[in-house]
A and B are shown apart, each in its own frame.
Chain A
Amino acid sequence: MSQTPTTPTHPSAGHELEHSQHRHLVTYPKFLWKCFCAATDGGPLFYAWMIFLTAVTLVGLSAWSHQITNGMAVTGMSDHVSWGMYIANFTFIVGLAAGGVMMVIPAYLYHDRDMHDVVIVGELLAIASIIMCLLFVTVDLGHPERFWHLMPFIGRFNFPISMLTWDVIVLNGYLLINLHICGYLLYTRFQGRKPEARFYIPVVFISVFWAISIHTVTAFLYCGLGGRPLWNSALLAPRFLASAFVSGPAFIILTLYILRRLTDLPVSEKAIKTLLQILRVTICINLLMVISEMFTEFYSGTAHTASARYLYFGLHGKDALVPWIWTAVALNIIAAIVLLSPGLSKRANWIKAACVMVFIAVWIEKGMGLIIPGFIPSTLHEVVEYTPTITEWKITAGIWAFGLLAYSASLKTTVAIIRGRVSNQSPNASPQDVKL
């Protein structure tokens, strides 16, 4: 949760002349402890929400335990469709993590003040998302206890040949970068100091490129496979980025509305407007890319279109994904119309609805709509379909719940620190925190 990840951050603070090493040894644990208290304390609604998420997480854990004891046979995957729900969600959530950068760019590159006030929401989303990504990969492994084989120097890290090793590096790197930024900003705020630019601004700039890299590398996982025509497209990485910059801002807009309603964090209308502007552009780019992909597949009519035909129209009487993908297409188009229409896009409820729609649309399009049809038909053109089992749903829900748990707890702490309820001086933060 929010305070545990901050551990590896900024020993750099010790370089400051006016603060002795000794002081940080006292202040930092105090910071962690107060963060923890703030994250586990709140009103009835907060408790209900956290208990609910914990319960779902535990259901997921129990299902994962079941999967480990009984083998991956409890999933709906097969030698034909060898990746399913887990990798689909992984792909989508990498996009969510990268999407946070769409707040960082206006805030730091264009010095947008209003965005600057809330940019940490995007960075915390990145942290929570990367945690979810790592969990989704872990539950997809047949032998998660052998994770150490994947560690550089300890195991055998097939770098640079395997794209998965690149993904390990960029995902963990992105996690560390964002932990550092958030941890440093919150810690200085906690101490009542002004953050020093040299300790975090360079890292912020790195994070911008890094965010692009996490999603590019994730796309390279798939588009580098010559035997899978659906994925073997140069458009995949740009398309991943475009859809990431749709789902990320959409999710952040929703978060900002919720924060404005439930907390005292000052969320300016302008920040939301900026994100909406971004969303208006990216949603069109994303649709354009979907259309060019579809055109290339269907107009040429080569044998390589079998997967696309399966996805959009069904193949040899098998059509499990058809309703899903058309739902996604419809939601995408409706959301685009809402966001681009001058009247509707001024109303908060319509905006919220459009964000929810586009979030679901990208989840379908990039998850089940991209990973599953890559395997159907199989490389020998056998059409074997995939339906996730209840175990897979439970584990997936568990990971989402855990991610939201981490996100909620870290937002809770962050708001408390920003509003000055939690600081080096404050005696005890929790009892006064009445609003949530």
Chain B
Amino acid sequence: MSSDPHPPKVSRHRGSWGPAIGVIILIILLLAWLMVTVVRGPSPISYGNEHDPSPTELTVKQVNQQHPVTISVPEGPPKVLVADPNGSGHAIEVSCTTCHATREPDYKNVTSDDLDEFHQNLSMAHGDLSCLSCHNPKDYDTLKKADGSAVSYPNVMQLCAQCHQSRYNDYQHGAHGGMTGHWDLSKGPRQRKACIDCHDPHSPAMPKMLPQFKPLDRFMDTPHPSDHQTEASH
């Protein structure tokens, strides 16, 4: 300041370094505190009950599984709609054996392309399997495993499992397949999809889907087909 023609003497200044050094020490202490807190992580965050879970303590309550996990099952052997052979003009439902009882199984038929009547629209894309890999020629109202033993339609997952073992293993552990209901079975039941709810057994690959719900954020480009896809689809 101009009002201070004789700035305080140096000795005066030396004395006044005290507070400044004090502030520095304070700041260092605060920083140290911060580091300690950050490294430890903020105290309110803790898991389990009171203390951090160590592996031995991860046992946790054995859940009282009062509620069931239900897997959707097909009701029984499929029925086929055909014109009434008695000429009534109505369509009637017949079971597989109704027709197949009168026909010899033909092992040469691999896909629907090989058929000259019936089931011709069925698209078949399931690896190298042929019709009679799964359908039981001894009883068309059942399916058959690789060893020839019959499997009822409601138990179709057993048939899938014999080839897709690892996928079935995932399924059994809840790591594959859709579900609804409760994660906590002590609070309520859970419903699970069966293989054929999502996968058409004749053509099990999931079909392509059209994404219909896209974010419309502020100032974001409107969703558009990516360049790559435009090339590919043309």
Direct contact of A and B (CB under 8 A): yes
**A residues whose Cβ falls under 8 Å from a Cβ of B:** 73, 76, 78-81, 108, 111, 113, 116-117, 119-120, 160-161, 185, 188-189, 194-195, 197-198, 201-203, 205-206, 208-210, 213, 266, 382, 384-386, 418
Interchain nearest-CB distance for A200 vs B (Å): 9
Assess whether A382 is in contact with B1, with CB atoms less than 8 Å apart.
no
Binary A-proximity of B13-53 (CB < 8 A = 1, otherwise 0): 10011111001100100100110011000100000000000
Counting chain B residues whose Cβ lies within 8 A of the other chain, the interface size class is 20 to 34
The verdict on B220 contacting chain A, using a C-beta distance below 8 Å, is yes
Q: Which residues of B contact A80 (CB under 8 A)?
A: 217, 219-220
Assess whether B16 is in contact with A117, with CB atoms less than 8 Å apart.
no
Assess whether A197 is in contact with B220, with CB atoms less than 8 Å apart.
no
Return the 9 tightest CB-CB contacts between A and B, nearest first: A197-B8, A205-B20, A78-B218, A202-B19, A160-B34, A202-B16, A189-B3, A201-B16, A117-B2
Q: Which residues of A contact B16 (CB under 8 A)?
A: 197-198, 201-202, 205
Interchain nearest-CB distance for B190 vs A (Å): 32
Assess whether B2 is in contact with A382, with CB atoms less than 8 Å apart.
no
Assess whether A194 is in contact with B4, with CB atoms less than 8 Å apart.
yes
**Other-chain residue from B7, B34, B219 in contact with A111 (beta carbon distance below 8 A):** B7
Residue ID in chain A nearest B34 by CB atoms: A160
**Other-chain residue from B3, B27, B218 in contact with A213 (beta carbon distance below 8 A):** B27
Interchain nearest-CB distance for A152 vs B (Å): 14
> How many angstroms from the CA of A18 to the CA of B182 in the assembled complex?
81
Q: Which residues of B contact A194 (CB under 8 A)?
A: 3-4
Q: Which residues of A contact B4 (CB under 8 A)?
A: 116, 194-195
**B residues whose Cβ falls under 8 Å from a Cβ of A:** 1-4, 7-8, 12-13, 16-20, 23-24, 27, 30, 33-34, 37-38, 42, 217-221
**Other-chain residue from A76, A79, A160 in contact with B217 (beta carbon distance below 8 A):** A79
> How many angstroms from the CA of A65 to the CA of B218 in the assembled complex?
22
Give 21 pairs: A residue, B residue, CB < 8 Å, sorted on A. Answer: A73-B218, A78-B219, A79-B218, A80-B217, A80-B220, A116-B1, A119-B1, A160-B34, A194-B3, A194-B4, A198-B16, A201-B13, A202-B19, A205-B16, A205-B19, A205-B20, A206-B20, A208-B20, A266-B2, A385-B219, A418-B2
